[in-house]
Amino acid sequence: MRYVVMLLIGIMLIIQGQVYAQNQERNKSGEAGVLYGKLLDAQSGKPVEYASVALLRVADSSLVTGMLSKTNGDFRFENVPQGPYLLRINFIGYTTIFKSTAVTAKNIVHDLGNIKLNPNVKSLAAVEVVGEKPAFTMAIDKRVFNVDKNLASIGGTATDVLKQVPSVNVDIDGNVTVRNGAPTIFIDGRPSTLTMDQIPADAIASVEVVTNPSAKYDAEGMSGILNIVLKKNKRAGINGMVSAGISTLGSINGGADLNIRQDKFNFFANYSIRDRKSPTNSRLFRKNILGDTTNYLEQLQNGDFYRKFQTGRIGFDWFIDNRNTISLSESIVGGNFDRTNNQTLNDQDIHQQLVRYGTGIDNSKNSFRNYTTQLGYKHTYEKTGKELTADFTYNRATSKNSSDYSLQYFTPEHVATDNPRRPEQRYGTGNGTTTYLTGQLDYVNPITETAKLEMGLRATSRQFDNLLNTFGKDYTSGNFVLDSALSNNYHYKEMVNAAYVSFTGSKKNFGYQVGLRGEQSFYSGEMKSVKDGSYKIDYPISLFPSIFLSQKLTGDHELQLNYSRRIRRPWFRDLLPNIEYNAQSASRGNPDLKPEFTNSFELSYLKDFNRKHNVLVSVYFRNTNNAITDFYVDTTLVINEQAQRVLLRYPVNAATRNSYGAEFTIRNQITTGWDITTNLNLAQTKVDAKNLADNLTNQGFTWFGKVNSNTRLPWNTTFQVTGKYDSKRILPQGEKAAEYSVDAAIKKDFLKNKALSVSLGINDIFNTERDLSYTNTAFAEQEMYRKRATRELRVNATWRFGKMDTHLFKRKTKGDKENTTQDMNGEGF
C-alpha cells in the first residue's frame, strides 16, 4: 500500500506542475484571456443557476458578451481581449451586482471567485414559489429518494424509510437487499456501527441508491451502495423544528432541531427520542426423519420487542474563505433493545399426536452507546471544478447484554418429567466494544471542459471485542456453572486500505469513464476461551476495475453500459464461532468463511418525456464466486451436560451464484399535484453449492414490485400510498415465501407559511408483513414463521420556526432589521 500512496502523490504533483506550466505559457504568449467564476446564494451558499451574467466595456457600458450561469452556478468567458471590463450580474429576487475586472498580460486567466448574491427582500415578498422537489429523482447512474416527501416513515426509523425506497427491500428483521443482494450501507458516505433501527427517520434528508458503483466508491457490497444522507441546515439566521408523535402500539417519539448561521460560521444541533413496542410471535414446525422413524416438533413463542433510544448530534461549519471549509460534528446514540418471550415446545409422534410438551421463557436485554466524530476539510482551487477533500470519521460503540432462559417438560397429563431432558435453566451476561476508523482523501481535476481526472486514498480499521458468559444450573449440586458451549471471549480486527483513479471524458454525445480501484484487507480473530481458536487472513491487493459508457440520443434519451467488480467480506458476526441456541434451533459463525467476488454488468436506458414522465430500464447480470449463503446441518450439541439434536445454521461459501434480471422504474406526473413512481424487478437466480454436498443446487424466478403514489390535495393537504410485493426467494436448501404490504398517510399544513404540519399514517394496513421460510435437509423438513405487530397507526406533529437574518449578531438600526430579516416559518430543511 505504501507504493500505491507514493504513486498517487507523484501523479498529483505531476498534474499540479503541468497546470502551473500551462498558466505560465499563457502569460508569456499575450493571447486573449479567460474570465470565470461561480454564483452563490449569500444565505444558503447554494449555486444560483440561470442568472444573467453580462460583460460590459468600461468606456461606454456596451455589451461585449453574456451568458446564463450553469446549474452549478459557474460562468465562463473565453477569448476575451485584454483590457478593463465591468461585470453585471442580475437575477429575479436578487440585488444586481456590478464588479470591475480586467484581462492583462500578467493575469490572462482570471478567476473571479465565488460571487455571492444577496436576496432582494422586497422583491422576494411578491414572488410565490410553487415548484417542489419530487419525492424520487432518477439519473442513469443514481436514484435519490427525498425523505422529506415521505409521509409513511414520519416518526419512525431508517428501517421505515428504506421500506419506502424503490429498488430496496427490507424484511421484518431489518435486513436490507437491493436486487436480491446485500448492498453496502453508508451514513453520509462513511461506514457506521449504527443499525437502521438506531437512526431516526426525521434526521434523514435523502437516500441515494447506486446499483453499480464506479471505482471511486468502495468495492464492498454485491448489490451496490445505499447512502443515507442526514439533514444539515445551513440557512442564515436562527431556525429549527420541533416534532412529536404517538402510535396505537404505545410507541412515542419526539425531537428538536436548531440551526444558527452567521457569516463564516454555521452551528447545528438536534435531539430525538424514540420508544417503540412490537408484540411478536413465531412458530417453528419441523419433521424429523431418523432412519425409519418420523416425529414432529412444534415450537411456539410470543412476547414483546421493546426499542428505546435517544440520539443527539451537534456540529459546525467554518467557512474560512471562499475556497476553504472545515466541518466538525459529534453524535451520540444510546438506548435499549429488550425482548421477552414465553415459549412452548410440543413433541409429537408419527401421527402428530402430542407425546410431551415443554414451557419456559427466552428473554434478553441489550443496551448500547454509540459515539461518532466526523472531521472534514474541503479546498476548491481557482480552476472551476478542481477540489481537494479530506475526511476523518471515528466511531465507537459499546454494548451490554443479559439473557434469561428456562424450559421444563411435562407429560400430556401436565406432570413434570425429565424425559427427554432434565429441566433447563440458565442466564448470561456479556459486553462488547466496536471501534471503527475511516480516513479518506479525494482529488478532482477537470483537465479540460470534457475531461476529468479523479483519484483518492482510503483506509478503514475496525476492531471488535465481545465477552459472553452463560451459566447453566447443575441440578445435582443446585449451583450455576459456566457453560462453555454457549460462552465466548472473542477479539476481531479488520483493516482495509484502498486507492483509486478514475478518468471521465466525452466527445459530443458519447461519454465514458474508466476507473481502477485497488484494495488490500487483513482480518484476524481469536476465541480466547478455546485452545487454538484463532485465525489470521491477509489478502494482497485485489483490483476492481470499472467501465462506464454512455450515449445521449436525440429526444432526451440516454443509453449506458457499465461493468464493475465487487467484493463482499464476511461481517464479524459471520466469523464469530460461538453458538446461539434457542430450544431446537441453533446458529453460529464460520471462521473459515472467505470473501465473495462479483462481476456485475448492467445496461440501462433512460427516457424523459417533457419532464413529466421518466422511464429507466436496466438489464443486469451478476456472476458471484465463493458466494456467501446460509447452510443447515443436523448436529448434536451438549447443553447443560445434556446431548440435544438440533438443526444448526451457519454461513458457508457456495461455488457460484448467478443472477440475471431486469428492472423497470417509471415516474409519471399524472397531474400537477399527483405523481406515481413504479418499480419492478425481475430476476432469475441459481445457486451452485456442489462443493458442499453432491447435487446441492437450487434455482428459481423471483420478482419484486413497489408503487409510490403522492397526491397534493386542496387545503394544504398531501396524501400518500405505498404498496410492495415480494415473491418467493431462492435458498440453497429451500425458499422464503412471498409477502406483500400496503402503507398510507395523509398530512395537513397549518398556520402562516405552513409552519405547523400534522400527519396521520398507517403502516401495513392489511397486517401481512411476516417472515416464512422452508428448509429441507437429509434429516429434516422445517417451516419457520415469524411475525411482529406491524400494523400501526401513527399521529405526528411538526412545528418549524426561524428567521433568515444575515446580520444576526451585528448591531442594527430599526431600518436595518427591516431590510435584513425575513420570516422563514414553514420552510423545510
Considering only CA atoms, which of 531, 422, 545 is closest in space to residue 475?
A: 422
Residue 19 — pLDDT band, cuts 50, 70, 90?
very low
By 3-state DSSP, what share of the chain in percent is helix, strand and coil, each rounded to 5?
10, 65, 25
Residue 591's SS3 state is: coil
611 C-beta neighbours (distance < 10 Å), count: 8
Q: Which tops the pLDDT comparison, 760 or 127? A: 760
Mapped onto helix, strand or coil, the DSSP state of residue 307 is strand
Question: Which residue has cell 421444563?
Answer: 408
When pLDDT is averaged across residues 551-563 and rounded to a whole number, the result is 85
Q: Per-residue confidence at 532, pLDDT binned at 50, 70, 90?
A: low
Q: Which amino acid is at 314?
A: I
Question: Could you state, in order of their start, the residue ranges of all structural domains in the chain?
Answer: 1-26, 31-124, 237-805
How far apart CA 307 and CA 367 sit, in angstroms, is 10
Rounded average pLDDT over 530-555: 83
When pLDDT is averaged across residues 766-793 and rounded to a whole number, the result is: 88
CA separation (Å) from 609 to 143, 189, 558, 732?
18, 32, 12, 43
Query: How confident is the model at residue 124, as a pLDDT?
Result: 36
Residue with cell 464588479: 99
Residue 650 CB burial class (10 angstroms; 0-12, 13-18, ≥19): middle
Largest CA-CA distance found in the chain, in angstroms, rounded: 109
Strand partners for 514: 503, 547
pLDDT digits (tens, 9 = 90+) for 214-259: 888 888 877 778 888 887 765 667 888 899 999 999 899 999 988 8
CA distance 794 to 151: 10
pLDDT band, residue 291 (cuts 50/70/90):
low
User: How far is Cα 228 from Cα 161, in angstroms, rounded to an integer?
Assistant: 10
The values of phi and psi at residue 153, to 5°, are -95, 0
How, if at all, do strands 225-230 and 184-187 pair? parallel
Q: How far apart are CA 795 and CA 112, in angstroms?
A: 51
Phi and psi at residue 302, to the nearest 5°: -150, 145
- Say what the pLDDT of residue 803 is: 66
Has residue 429 got a pLDDT over 90?
yes
Residue 206 grid coordinates? 435523502
Q: How far apart are CA 746 and CA 718, in angstroms?
A: 6
Predicted pLDDT at 28? 42
pLDDT for 686 equals 87
Contact 376, 327 (CB under 8 A): yes
3-class secondary structure for 515-562? EEEEEEEEEEEEECCCCCCEEEEEEEEEEEEEEEEEEEECCCEEEEEE
Looking at 318-322, 431-435, 772-776, 810-814, which range is the least confident one? 810-814
Find out whether the peptide bond into 420 is cis, omega within 30 degrees of 0: yes
The order of strands in the sheet holding 136-138 is 136-138, 143-146, 204-210, 225-230, 184-187
Q: What is the reported pTM? A: 0.72
CA neighbor of 723 nearest in space, from 772, 672, 676: 676
As a whole number, mean pLDDT of residues 39-57 equals 83
Share the mean pLDDT of the chain. Answer: 82
Residue 754 identity: K
For 391-398, what is the mean pLDDT? 94
Report the pLDDT value the prediction gives residue 808, as an integer from 0 to 100.
52
Split at pLDDT 50, 70, 90, the class of 302 is very high
User: How many whole angstroms from its chain centre is CA 810?
Assistant: 40
In the chain, the percentage of residues whose pLDDT exceeds 90 is 32
Given this model, what pLDDT does residue 474 score?
A: 84
Strand partners, 388: 379, 443
Has residue 187 got a pLDDT over 70?
A: yes
More confident residue, 501 or 212: 501
Burial code of 73-98, b = ≥16 C-beta within 10 A, e = fewer?
A: bebebeebeeeebbbbbebebbeebe
**What single-letter DSSP state applies at residue 203?**
G
- pLDDT mean over 84-106: 83
pLDDT class for 134, splitting at 50, 70, 90? Answer: low
Q: Which CATH architecture has domain 31-124?
A: Sandwich (2.60)
Q: 253, exposed or middle or buried, with CB in 10 Å at 0-12, 13-18, 19+?
A: buried
Rg (CA), the chain: 30
- Mean pLDDT on 515-520: 94
Residue 811 pLDDT > 60, yes or no? no
pLDDT digits (tens, 9 = 90+) for 586-618: 888 888 888 889 999 999 998 888 778 888 899
Residue 602 bridge partners (DSSP): 562, 620
Tell me: the pLDDT tens digits for 684-740? Answer: 988 888 888 777 788 888 899 999 998 989 888 999 999 999 998 877 778 889 999
Q: At 828, which helix (H) or strand (E)?
A: none
Instruction: State how far the Cα of 706 lies from the Cα of 666, in Å rounded to an integer.
Output: 11
Quick one: cell of 734? Answer: 429451500
Contacts (Cβ under 8 Å, ≥6 apart) of 156: 200, 201, 253, 763, 794
pLDDT in the model for residue 793? 93
Q: What are phi and psi of 292, to 5 degrees?
A: -100, 15
138: confidence class by pLDDT, cuts 50, 70, 90: low
Query: Which of the four pLDDT bands, split at 50, 70 and 90, describes residue 196?
Result: confident
Confidence check: pLDDT of 806 > 90:
no
Which pLDDT value is given to residue 643? 72
pLDDT on residue 167: 83
Q: Identify the pLDDT of residue 252.
A: 92
Q: What is the mean pLDDT of the segment spanning 559-578?
A: 83
Model confidence band, residue 821 (pLDDT cutoffs 50, 70, 90):
very low
Statement: residue 72 has pLDDT above 80: no
Task: Report the range of poorest mean pLDDT among 74-88, 248-262, 281-295, 406-420.
Answer: 281-295
Which CATH number is 237-805's, of 2.40.170.20, 3.60.60.10, 2.170.150.70, 1.20.120.450?
A: 2.40.170.20
Residue 2 pLDDT greater than 60, yes or no:
no
Q: Which of 229-243, 256-270, 386-400, 418-432 has the highest mean pLDDT?
A: 386-400
- Which grid coordinates are listed for 501? 483513479
Q: Are strands 176-178 and 136-138 parallel, antiparallel or unpaired?
A: unpaired
Is a pLDDT exceeding 70 seen at residue 23? no
- E-strand ranges in 554-673 read 557-568, 579-582, 585-588, 596-609, 613-639, 642-671
Residue with cell 417472515: 771
